[in-house]
Chains A and B, each alone.
Chain A
Amino acid sequence: MSGTTPALGRRQRTARPDRAAWGFLLPFVALFLFVFVIPLGYAVYESLLKPIRSGPLGLGPASIGFAGLDNYTLALQQSDFLESFGRVLLFGIVQVPVMLLLATALALILDTLSQRWSGILRAAYFLPYGVPGVIASILWGFLYVPGVSPLVDLLDKVGLAPDFLGYHGVLWSIANIVIWEFTGYNMLVIVAQLKSIPQELYEAARIDGAGSWQTAVRIKLPLARPALVLTAVFSIIGTLQLFAEPLVIKPLTSTVTSSYTPNLAAYNEAFSNNNIYLAAAESVILALVASVLSFGFLSLVNRKERGAR
């Protein structure tokens, strides 16, 4: 008798936190399930199907059959779908470092300013992030269109005749929009990390005779590394998912094609061409590439970190 009571008590003690933990986890798990796991599973399922047509000219009633990996083969055979990956990779290789360099530089500058000025500037830099991507693209679109844009007129007068929407320029015009939108956001993440650096380290550095440049390079940057890694991963994923900006810019120029980015290709396949099965396959391929790249980047960074120790 006496032996069972503590055991029971122990069970209760362990059971209660479990229930509480699940209670707290429930909203997350439910959302994760409904907006992530289930749609993902559904997309994979759809990507394995194809319509089977009947009737003359195939306009008769259609049913759905198992396609195996046909949709994947088809997607990988489409040259413009593959080109769209090349395009966003090129975009990412240039745009992500430029944006993160800018964000880091701004964060470091803000970190040295007085409380009041850094507050005002932080809000100002962050402001573009509050403008939805579609609106930002419309705004910039007007600045790119010759004949309407004061910017183009001005540059024309100076003798530079920029073709912001030309075949070679448009990708970088889109990159500019993305940089404008997200630099402030990334800067904020880095600023938050810098704020968490204990003041003692700075004092120690000062005592050791480090100037502000050396403090920035030797102390702030290494300690802001987790934030830099995080922003880099987010930016890589964001780059691959580029969608709203090219979609909005598309009507302004014939150089943005219907499969300019992988997301745009999947969107048009699903909603213009009405082939949701092929679109699902394209989306799954995109998700795979994005996870390979982000996890690849993370493991590369972690290996370096381990190597450094």
Chain B
Amino acid sequence: MNSSPPSRRSVLRWGAGAAGALAALPALTACGQTVGAARTTRQESTRPGQKVNLVFWTWVPMQKTVDLWNRTHPDIHVELQTVPASTQGGYQKMFSALSAGNPPDLAQVEYQELPAFMLVNGLTDLSGYGADKLRDSYVPWQWNQGVFGGRVHTIPQASGPMGLFHRQDLLAKWGLETPATWADFEQAARVVKARGGGARISAFNPSSPAWFAALCWQRGSRWVRTQDDTWIVAMNDDPSREVAEYWERMVRDDLVLVEPDLSSVWYRQLQTGQVVTWIGPQWGDALLRGNAPGTKGKWRAAPLPQWQAGENASANWGGASTAVLQGSRHPREALQFAHWINSDPKAVDLNIAAGYGWPAATGIFRGSALDKPDPFFGGQRYNDVFAASDRAIDTSWKWSPTTDADFAHLGDAFGASMAGDGTLTSALADAQKRTVDDLLAKGLKARSQS
């Protein structure tokens, strides 16, 4: 029987890409309290015929997929419990459960959050349970999001390749082509403002740093790097500043609506045509369909506008994995479920219907529920756009172990700048400084990129 793998106690290295092979340090198991999960994963032996119960926390409505599992796997019963989405309470709940020692067996954890879970010893090392042989079933970059120190810590679920959702009817009415570059987009924004009768090309949400991060990602910025044992933060690098200046201009010239997207105001404006485009992720299709049903047939998807004509750079917004949390008593069965729900074609089709995002499983797109002309998008096979977008994502982007706080700082500073207190560019510098402070406060080595 495989007991709790000791590798968590050995060296953990950030990402498969981190340079330099680091020799395993002697395990520093100082006596007394340790930080993070109060209970470690230990496989409990099961007798033949014994039913195993697993608890799964997620905010994606996957009940139908779980029902299918329970029908087809009588020995392992999974109970889905819905938690608030990501930082709106979901992670808070998971972190509390981890320190209290009563975590669920499985949980949905976004890629940008995985380092923070590593920092509190929150993820089970799945390599010890044979996860490595599943590697080929998944898109490499998504798989690598969960690999730390060469050990697999989570099974990828879905991602959010970005594209440009747009109202083709309205753009055509005002004599506009689908913007192919950011310069085109700005030009189109001026036309929409002039002819749109109060409409704007899009909304700029100052409190959505994940969205802003994706745009910087596309421009070629890398917010986080590592060098030896030090985290190097570069939110204020040249590409990010360029993105910030662009949106500063859009806001200053009143070309965009400044408001939270994915909010009731914004949904209303989608319905009334006051918002004409959305620079959004693939998983946004379900949101458009669900919240603006009256605009059916008028939307199209196009590639993300480029900084240089003819380029093909994309980015990712969101994306999550199915993690086996530290403390599970049935990691082997949990891993089996995590792999099934993310790779079984029937399961994936049900997940797609639930709007879970762009599948992380390879070779699943063709022939899936995504690979169809869609009446909401006027019969466009709109997911071909996102399939191409997915291939154009620079996969060397990395997240820090304090992403939530980084996002909070950025959102706060962006909000203040919208009220005239600073600018988007100064907000980047401010957030970068605070991020380094946070990392230092957590006892990590960190510095700003000079």
Contact = CB atoms under 8 A, between A and B. Distances in A.
Interface string A238-277: 0000000000000111111111000000001001111110
A62 B35 contact: yes
B419 A54 contact: no
Interface string B1-36: 000000011111110001000100101111011111
13 contacts: A56-B22, A57-B230, A58-B119, A59-B119, A60-B11, A61-B27, A63-B28, A167-B420, A251-B263, A255-B415, A255-B418, A257-B412, A259-B412
B19 to A, nearest CB: 11
A148 interface: yes
B13 A57 contact: yes
A53 interface: yes
A63 B88 CA distance: 29
B260 A62 contact: no
Residue of B30, B88, B414, B420 contacting most chain A CB atoms (<10 Å): B30
Interface in B104-128: 115-116, 118-121
B48 to A, nearest CB: 36
The size bracket of the interface on B is 35 or more
Given A56-B228, A60-B11, A62-B119, 16 more contacts: A52-B30, A54-B28, A57-B230, A58-B401, A58-B445, A59-B13, A59-B115, A59-B118, A60-B12, A63-B28, A259-B412, A271-B96, A272-B92, A272-B408, A274-B95, A275-B442
B136 interface: no
B73 interface: no
Contacts of A57: 12-14, 18, 226, 229-231, 444-445
B408 A254 contact: no
Contacts of A53: 442-444
A146 interface: yes
B404 A272 contact: yes
A107 interface: no
A119 interface: no
Contact of B29 (A50, A61, A168): A61
Interface stretch (B50-58, B264-272, B369-377): B264-272
9 smallest CB-CB distances across A and B, nearest first, come from A167-B419, A254-B415, A271-B92, A258-B408, A257-B412, A254-B207, A58-B444, A62-B35, A273-B405
Contacts of A52: 30, 443
Contacts of B230: 57
B87 interface: yes
B380 interface: no
A145 B95 contact: no
A278 interface: yes
A259 B12 CA distance: 32
Interface in B345-373: none
Nearest to A268: B408
B265 A145 contact: yes
Interface string A125-168: 00000000000000000100111100000000000000000111
Contacts of B445: 57-58
A58 B95 contact: no
B211 interface: no
Contact of A59 (B12, B27, B92, B418): B12
Contacts of A276: 99
A19 to B, nearest CB: 38
Interface of B: 8-14, 18, 22, 25, 27-30, 32-36, 87-88, 91-92, 95-96, 99, 115-116, 118-121, 148-149, 205-207, 226, 228-231, 260, 263-265, 268-269, 401-402, 404-405, 408-409, 411-412, 414-416, 418-421, 437-438, 441-445
Residue of A63, A64, A142 contacting most chain B CB atoms (<10 Å): A63
A111 interface: no
Contacts of A271: 91-92, 95-96
Contact of B443 (A51, A168, A252, A254): A51
B349 to A, nearest CB: 32
A64 B25 contact: no
A60 B99 CA distance: 17
A148 B265 contact: yes
A147 B120 CA distance: 42
A69 interface: no
Nearest to A78: B437
A79 B412 CA distance: 13
A56 B412 contact: no
B404 A61 contact: no
A254 B260 contact: yes
Contacts of B260: 251-254
Residue of A167, A253, A258 contacting most chain B CB atoms (<10 Å): A258
Contact of B88 (A55, A146, A251, A259): A251
A58 B149 CA distance: 12
Nearest to B228: A56
Nearest to A60: B12
Nearest to B87: A272
A148 B264 contact: yes
Contacts of A62: 34-36, 119, 121, 443
Interface in A100-133: none
B270 to A, nearest CB: 11
Nearest to A74: B441
Nearest to A256: B415
Contacts of A51: 35, 442-443
B20 to A, nearest CB: 9
